[in-house]
Structure 1
Amino acid sequence: MIARRREMAQDCINICNTAMANGVQVIPTKGFVLSKLIYDNPYTRSYNDIDILVKETDIEKVDSILQSHNYYSRVFGSSFKVTPKPIFFYPESHDIHYNKKLPDGEVGCRLELKRYMWSFSNVADFFKNTQTIKIDNSDVEVLNINYSFLLLCSYAYNYTELPYGVISKNCLRDYMDLLMFFNKYNSLIE
Structure 2
Amino acid sequence: MRYFDFSSFKAEEKFVLLCAFPQKNAQEIDFIRTLVLEIQDWDYVLKLASIHGITSLLWHNIKQNYKDIVSQDIRQRFRSYWQGNVIYAFKMSQELCKILQLLQQHSIQAIPLKGPVLAELYYGNMALREYCDLDILVPEAEVLDAKKILVSCGYEETIPISKGKNVYLKASHHFKLCHPSHKISVELHWKLLENFMYQDFSNGLLYKNTIQQEFSGHKVCCLSPEDTLVYLCLHGSKHFWQKILWLVDIAMIVQSRQDWDWEKILQNASKTGTLRRMLVALFLVQRLWEIPVSLLCRLKMAQDKSLSALAKQICQHFFVPFRTKDLVFFNVQSRERILDKGIYLKGKLFTGISPEDMQFAGQNSENPWYYFFIRILRLMLCYSKKFLGTIQRKILI
TM-score range, shorter chain: 0.7 to 0.9
* 1:121 is aligned to 2:199: yes
Letter in 2 for 1:49: D
Measure how far apart 1:131 and its partner are: 0.9
Q: Which residue of 1 aligns with 2:173?
A: 94
Measure how far apart 1:95 and its partner are: 1.6
Given the alignment, which residue of 8, 30, 49 partners 2:133? 49
Measure how far apart 1:156 and its partner are: 2.1
C-alpha distance in 2 between matches for 1:188 and 1:177: 16
The 3 A distance-change label for structure 1 pair 44 and 85 is farther
Q: Is the 8 A contact 2:172 2:194 kept in 1?
A: no
Q: Which residue of 1 aligns with 2:104?
A: 20
Q: Deviations over 1:153-181 (max 9, x none)?
A: 11221121xxxxx64xx2x1111110121
Q: Which residue of 1 aligns with 2:372?
A: none
The 3 A distance-change label for structure 1 pair 94 and 39 is same
Q: Which residue of 2 aligns with 1:163?
A: none
Q: Is the 8 A contact 2:138 2:188 kept in 1?
A: yes
C-alpha distance in 1 between matches for 2:109 and 2:175: 17
TM-score by length of 1: 0.79
Q: Which residue of 2 aligns with 1:74?
A: 158
Given the alignment, which residue of 126, 131, 136 partners 2:216? 136
Q: Which has the larger radius of gyration?
A: 2
SS at match of 2:186: strand
| Structure number having the greater helix percentage | 2
Map 1:31-42 to 2 at 5 A: 31-42=115-126
Instruction: Write out the 4+ residue segments of structure 1 that deviate beyond 6 Å after TM superposition.
Output: 85-89
The number of residues matched between the two structures is 173
Q: Is the 8 A contact 1:35 1:43 kept in 2?
A: yes
* 1:187 is aligned to 2:270: no
Q: Is the 8 A contact 1:130 1:144 kept in 2?
A: yes
| Structure number having the greater strand percentage | 1
Measure how far apart 1:68 and its partner are: 2.9
C-alpha distance in 1 between matches for 2:239 and 2:249: 13
SS at match of 1:126: helix
Q: Is the 8 A contact 2:229 2:250 kept in 1?
A: yes
Letter in 2 for 1:147: D
Measure how far apart 1:134 and its partner are: 1.2
Q: Deviations over 1:92-151 (max 9, x none)?
A: 432210000236xx2210012227467322134212211111112111111111111111
Return 5+ residue gaps in structure 2 as ranges: 1-84, 266-397
The 3 A distance-change label for structure 1 pair 85 and 18 is farther
Q: Is the 8 A contact 1:97 1:111 kept in 2?
A: yes
C-alpha distance in 2 between matches for 1:10 and 1:69: 14
Measure how far apart 1:31 and its partner are: 0.6
The 3 A distance-change label for structure 1 pair 116 and 39 is closer
Letter in 1 for 2:126: P
Give the superposed CA RMSD: 2.6
The 3 A distance-change label for structure 1 pair 136 and 150 is same
Return 5+ residue gaps in structure 1 as ranges: 76-81, 161-165
Q: Which residue of 1 aligns with 2:149?
A: 65
Moved more, 122-131 or 133-142: 122-131
Q: Is the 8 A contact 2:233 2:250 kept in 1?
A: yes
Percent of residue pairs bearing the same amino acid type: 23
Moved more, 55-64 or 120-129: 120-129
